[in-house]
Structure 1
Amino acid sequence: MKKGLTGRIVTALACLIILAGYLFVPSADRRADAETRTITMGTSPDYPPYESVDAVGSGEIVGLDIDIAKYISDKLGYKLEISPSDFDGLIAALQTRRVDFVMSGMSVTEERKQSVDFSDSYYLARNTIVSLSGHEYKSLDELKGKKLGVQLGSTQETAAKELEGVTLLSLNKIPDLIQALQAGRVDALIVEDAVAAGYANANENLKFTMVPAAGGDEGYAIAFPKGSPLREEFNSVLSQMKSDGTLQQMIDASFGTETAAPSDSGGGTIDFGVLKPYMSFLLKGIYVTLLFTIVSAAFGFIWGAVLSLFKLSNIPPLRWFSTVYTSIFRGTPLLLQLLLLFYAIPQLFHYNIPPLLAAGLAFGLNSAAYLSETIRGGILAVDKGQREASLALGIPYRTMMISIIMPQAIKNILPALVNECVALVKESSLVSVIGVADLLRRSNIVQADTYRALEPLLFIGAIYYVLVLVLTSLARLLERRMRRSD
């Protein structure tokens, strides 16, 4: 009888995973034209004018790199898909074959050549020193002993490390660096010229100085996995774009039509009016957050129930498995589990798992480790007389567990279950690191567009609070109803 109950739970778990996969995998993947090969581009969409999110309009990723990639893909007969990620995760995405190529204002360096292949360069940029008005730096020598901000994993970080006596603050996103400069956490930034010009035009408090070009600089290029046949194909189209002027036209269009954000820094005041054009974009993040939370919570509860039955089982291998599983998932960071699942599945199983599905599985597997102990405690807390009476009356084990023991156990552990759901809602912000467009990711995009951090963060903070408040209120109603039913 125990095996029958466990089998039903495992079946329900399998159905939930299949449903989650169907919901999370983009519909375009399910309807892909077999005759048109889809290639995936990795990019970090926080680097205008090369790549950024059109949060006010279509919500799509736009910019110079996107235009070039679309042109080349069309010429070669490929269907292009774009996979967003933090900049420091792009090389890993290439190596694990999550993406077919990367375009993200990536400079060619000898270190990167050891890991990936590069196309011919398509743009030669220069570094700049960005500082606050009235505190300008005219040369790299003036930065000695200063605290500098650079993007993590960038060539600017490499250049800054060569300066004597500097203290580095390396962050994933350029908007975060701008905010650090505005807040006085760093004395200056080292960023690429076109990006610096865009931010300086948008904010009168920012000034920038060009740095002499380093010898041997090969410029920006497209990165491919080692040995990829796409490299030669892309190079042929790039050569044609350079010869007929198409590439230069795209560069001129991207740099000449860049839209600057309002130059008023706000004077230290809070102005939620800047969020008005982005409301629709931000609110769509609620659906992503709720979908992720509901599926991962359901998955975690069902798998946690299976693990709790394993722990109570008389079969030693099941007890051993559940104990080791719980130890591993409770003993390692959740973010590490998320990244391992996101990058390991494509590399080991050659399946490009969608980011939202990877996040749902990672959070569900992690939550199950904690819930298994909670559910086991709830089952053991039920009076033994309930089981003895059921067995004396000849009630089957499965019926006893489903109709008698589990309802009482769930009532006992309901506060703990609610706490786990609340934790999932808040911890869902971690999924932004793999490109899932949840509430936090969308607030970062708005921050990049408006050059203001406080307003979007306070707004999504209020949304998180309301979601948790609604969840706890529903839990109280359920708890009162269960008490009345006693």
Structure 2
Amino acid sequence: MSRSRTRRLPLGTVFIATALIAGVGGIVYSRVTAAPEPAAAAASRPADVAALVGTPDPKAQALIPANYAFVTPGTLTVATHPGQLPLADYGADNEQIIGVEPDIAKLIADGLGLKLVLVPVAWADWPLGLESGKYDAVLSNVTVTEERKKKFDFSSYRFDLLGIYTRTDGPIRKIETPADVAGLKVVLGASTNQDQILRQWDRQNIAAGLKPVEYQYFDDAVVGRLAVITGRADVSFEPNATGAYSARDGKVRRVGLFPGGWPNAAAISVTTRKGSGLAEPITQALNTQIASGTYAQALKRWNVGEEAVARSETNPPGLSAL
């Protein structure tokens, strides 16, 4: 990929987009001054971790199409978004990409008998980059949808769970229904499943005469989390993996848990080009790692064991448009 790797934005004054919907009109950009990063936080870069070693899988290797041209021969080139642990982020040296996504990618590459190269990408860039052949696969918390299945193939490796988190000393106790988010300031990622789900809830609430949600989008997850901790936002709506990982310091707590395809279950999957022939060998390699225990080892060390699948599937049922 030609673009430089993703860097953290400096903490301080940032811009957020607050979506005013249901006739209020368009996207309005409002300026929020985030609290400065504490010195301790600046020094607490995640430690680099030893790479896991996957179980070689001759059957998976034999399934690779003879005419498939890897981006680099003998190498599995995988795109991921280093934005937040436990999914993926830069380690202490600001070079190594660590997290459950890189770990799963390494296990797959080992199973296929290939060297792994990780390519850092922005979330919005992965579809075009994959279609144009800049990388062989994507592991970036991608949920299977029926729309995406028109262009891509998938190999499932985690259940998609979404969590709603608030500051530990905040007044919100639980969020169980769409009505519970009415009038709240919500931090979330743009063009994500949780964004679509929240908009569906918001439309429902507004139709019932309830207050609209105030949407807050941040390019930097750390800034979004600070907004919740300092009370500038009420809650974050995010992959449960990232929320649970950040909650370990006791500053935020979970008040809601929902399937990624609310109200339906959803699968997080390795994404490959449609018809490339890589999905089946990757699925096979994943199932070998599940059977050998290396898969469980990867999920356990990033505290995402509750998202484990019993078996990987090629092109599982996808979510319909919300």
Shared fold per TM-score greater than 0.5: yes
Partner of 1:157: 195
Structure exhibiting the larger radius of gyration computed from Cα positions: 1
Q: 1:44 aligns with which of 77, 81, 85?
A: 81
Q: Which residue of 2 is the match for residue 174 of structure 1?
A: 221
Do the aligned partners of 2:163 and 2:237 also contact (CA within 8 Å) in 1?
yes
Q: Residue 144 of structure 2: SS of its match in structure 1?
A: coil
SS in 2 for 1:104: coil
| Cα displacement (A) at 1:174 | 2.4
Aligned amino acid, residue 302 of structure 2:
S
Would you say 1:233 and 2:270 are equivalent positions?
Answer: no
Select which of 122, 131, 134 maps to 2:157: 122
Q: How far apart in 2 are the matches of 1:179 and 1:110? A: 35
- Structure 1 residue 57 displacement after superposition: 4.3
Shift in Å at residue 35 of structure 1?
A: 9.5
Task: Give the letter for the 2:298 counterpart.
Answer: M
- 2:171 paired with 1:135: yes
- Does the 8 A contact of 2:160 with 2:266 survive in 1? no
Q: In 1, are the aligned partners of 2:154 and 2:269 still within 8 Å (CA)?
A: yes
* Higher fraction of helix: 1
Residue 186, structure 1, aligned to residue 239, structure 2: no
The alpha-carbon distance between structure 1 residues 254 and 94, as it changes in their structure 2 partners (threshold 3 A), is same
Q: Which amino acid aligns with 1:195?
A: T
Contact 1:87–1:152 (8 Å) recurs in 2: no
| RMSD of Structure 2 on Structure 1 (CA) | 2.6
Identity of aligned residues (%): 25
- Looking at both structures, which has the greater relative contact order when contacts are Cα pairs under 8 Å and sequence separation is at least 6? 2
Conservation of the 8 A alpha-carbon contact between 1:88 and 1:172: no
Q: Which amino acid aligns with 1:161?
A: R
Q: Report the CA distance shift for 1:185/1:58 in structure 2 as closer, same or farther (over 3 A).
A: closer
Instruction: Describe the superposition over 1:15-59 as per-residue Cα deviations: whole angstroms up to 9, x where unpaired.
Output: xxxxxx9xx9xxxxxxxxx994223211111121121111x2473
Amino acid at match of 1:126: L
* Contact persistence 1:46–1:175 (CA under 8 A): no
- Quick one: structure 1 residues 82 and 211, their matched pair in 2 at CA, closer, same or farther if it must change by over 3 Å? same
Alpha-carbon spacing, 1:116–1:93, altered in 2? closer, same or farther (3 Å) = same
Q: Provide the residue aligned with 1:309 in structure 2.
A: none
1:151 aligned counterpart, secondary structure: coil
Could you tell me which residue of structure 1 aligns to residue 183 of structure 2? 145
In the superposition, relative to structure 1, how do residues 256 and 122 fare at CA in structure 2: closer, same or farther (>3 Å)? closer
1:176 is displaced (CA, Å) by 3.0
Cα distance in 2 for partners of 1:207, 1:215 equals: 22
Q: Secondary structure at the match of 1:209?
A: strand
Query: If each structure's strand is expressed as a fraction of its own residues, which one has the higher value?
Result: 2
Question: Which secondary structure does the structure 2 equivalent of 1:171 belong to?
Answer: coil
User: Partners of 1:110 and 1:146 in 2: how far apart?
Assistant: 30
Q: Residue 37 of structure 1 contacts residue 79 of structure 1 at CA under 8 Å; is this kept in 2? A: yes
Whichever residue aligns with residue 182 of structure 2, its letter is K
Q: How high is the TM-score relative to the length of structure 1?
A: 0.42
Give the alignment's TM-score, normalised by structure 2: 0.63
Distance 2:199 2:130 in 1: 25
Query: Is structure 2 residue 125 aligned with structure 1 residue 77?
Result: no
Q: 1:243 to 1:48 in 2, by over 3 A?
A: same
**C-alpha distance in structure 2 between counterparts of 1:208 and 1:147, whole Å:** 16
Superposition pairs of residues 179-328 of structure 1, within 5 angstroms: 179-202=226-249, 204-213=250-259, 214-255=262-303
Counterpart amino acid of residue 130 in structure 2: L
What is the one-letter code of the residue matched to 2:159?
L
Q: Using the TM superposition, give the Cα deviation of residue 96 of structure 1 relative to its aligned residue in structure 2, in angstroms.
A: 2.3
> Aligned partners of 2:272, 2:219: CA distance in 1, in Å?
21
Give, in whole Å, the separation in 2 of the partners of 1:64 and 1:212. Answer: 21
Q: Which amino acid aligns with 2:278?
A: L
Q: Which runs of 5+ in 2 are unaligned?
A: 5-70, 203-211, 306-322
Taking the aligned partners of 2:153 and 2:72, their CA distance within structure 1 comes to 27
Distance in 2 (CA, whole Å) between partners of 1:87 and 1:180 is 21
Match of 2:100 in 1: 64
> 1:66 Cα shift?
0.9
Give ranges in structure 1 of 5+ residues lacking alignment: 1-20, 25-33, 258-486
Q: CA deviation at 1:255?
A: 1.6
The 3 A distance-change label for structure 1 pair 113 and 174 is: farther
- Partner Cα distance (1:210, 1:143) in 2: 10
Equivalence for 2:310 = none
Alignment of 1:255-404 (within 5 A): 255=303
Q: Report what 2:59 is aligned to.
A: none
Structure 2 counterpart of 1:160, which letter? L
By how many angstroms is 1:217 displaced?
2.0
**CA shift in 2, pair 1:172/1:76, >3 Å:** same
Deviations 1:422-475 (A, max 9, x none): xxxxxxxxxxxxxxxxxxxxxxxxxxxxxxxxxxxxxxxxxxxxxxxxxxxxxx
1:89 matched to 2:122? The reply is no
Counterpart amino acid of residue 41 in structure 1: V
88 and 184 in structure 1: CA distance in 2 versus 1, 3 angstrom threshold:
farther
| Secondary structure of residue in 1 paired with 2:188 | strand
Q: Structure 1 counterpart of 2:236, which letter?
A: L
Deviation of 1:149 (Å): 1.3
Structure 1 stretches of 4+ with a deviation exceeding 3 A read 182-185
Alpha-carbon distance change, 256 to 138 in structure 1, aligned in 2, over 3 angstroms: closer
Residue 277 of structure 1: aligned partner: none
